[in-house]
Amino acid sequence: MAIRLRVFNSFQIVNLLTHKGNQKCPIIFQQRWSSVLNASPPKKQFGRKLMLGLAAAGVGVGIYSYLSKPGQESKYRSGVALTEITDFTRNDNIMDIKPSREVSGPATGLGLNLTLYQYQTCPFCCKVRSFLEFYGVPYKVIEVNPVMRQQLKFSKYKKVPILIAQEKDSSKKHQLNDSSVIISILGSMFVDFSSGMETILKYYVPMSYTNEDGKTVEEVMNKYFLMFGDNYKHKNDDYLKKERQWRKWADNEFVHVLSPNIYRTFDEALQAFNYFSEVGEWEKNFSTIERLIVIYVGATAMYFVGKRLKKKHALKEDVRQSLYDACKKWMKEIGSKKKFMGGELPNLADLAVYGMLSSIEGCSTFQDLLANTNISPWYYNVKEAVNNHYGYQKLKI
């Protein structure tokens, strides 16, 4: 059944999303929104030796701030002023850096040149990679040094992932921030190639507002929505709503049970950092002393950060039980009659949960999870679909 579009202005949309949050709002937003979040300028460098001495603190604080986003929506004051940003994703200051590696895929006809700035084991970066590889999209990877972060000098936004996208025959480079926004922008393109990236971007401009604490915040209010026209034969409204619900659950709830588990004890934290070193190829990117400082002092810092995250997110005394409960909740929602949340193929919710979970695949936590829940068949089925680019068959290039 086709959905009629009702066009709202910016102020009406914010009222619908905030003051009337309990109402159902079956609309496809026709406004200029975005993915760029405010970020303070990078701090001055105080020298390599000092930075190495503070490496673990930097890693700990960085991961903590990234993984400790509040699970609830911010509250708004009525009558807030909104600012719409034009040409918000364009960045002409991107440095020419040799990619750490290039990932191939069959979807070469998309006409997109994509470069992903990432940490290899960041759950949000893993989520974006799972999405790209499921659809067989080729892309380049630039591994960001988690201590110095010199690869991000071009950007005011200092979190990863960042995706730089450039359309064929275009000189414009677009900087896309926030894993869920990146996936929604590309996902919208994949269901309606006639629109083009610049048209799709207009639906994801950030709304600037003042929250009840008087702070100015920029946020993409519809970042879990895909934008498509009437010609696209999509699933029913309940399917799309459920997909959005569980994508949001992955970002706001599921991800928060991961860190307290892999840093549950010091030995587990040390094992996790050694795994990160291996898959992130830290031996190539760090000197021996740098790598050892990040591993040992970083593991110590994150052990204590894990305790704080446990308290912040009200996890059980044995945080393993919170992880098991979250995965059992996910598997219960899929049910016994479906292979994936998306049915015969993974949908965006499947890819989100799988991507985040894949970030800890080499940790002892993951083996405990497989032994104590029934998530293994689903996980490895999604892994097969991602590694073999099963989503490519859905693209009509």
The one catalytic residue among 64, 88, 124, 135: 124
The one catalytic residue among 29, 125, 324, 390: 125
The one catalytic residue among 122, 126, 327, 363: 122
124 is catalytic: yes
Give the torsion through C-alpha atoms of 134, 138, 143, 144, to 10 deg.
-90
Residues 34 and 85 sit within 8 Å (Cβ to Cβ): yes
C-alpha–C-alpha distance, residues 118 and 346, integer Å: 23
119 is catalytic: yes
327 is catalytic: no
Q: Tokens 């025959």 appear where?
A: 169
383 by Cβ neighbours in 10 Å (0-12 / 13-18 / 19+) ranks as middle
Which two tokens mark 219?
Answer: 């946020």
The one catalytic residue among 29, 88, 117, 119: 119
276 is catalytic: no
C-alpha–C-alpha distance, residues 356 and 209, integer Å: 30
Q: Which residue from 209, 246, 202 is spatially nearest to 224, judged by alpha carbons?
A: 246
As annotated, the active-site residues are 119, 122, 124-125
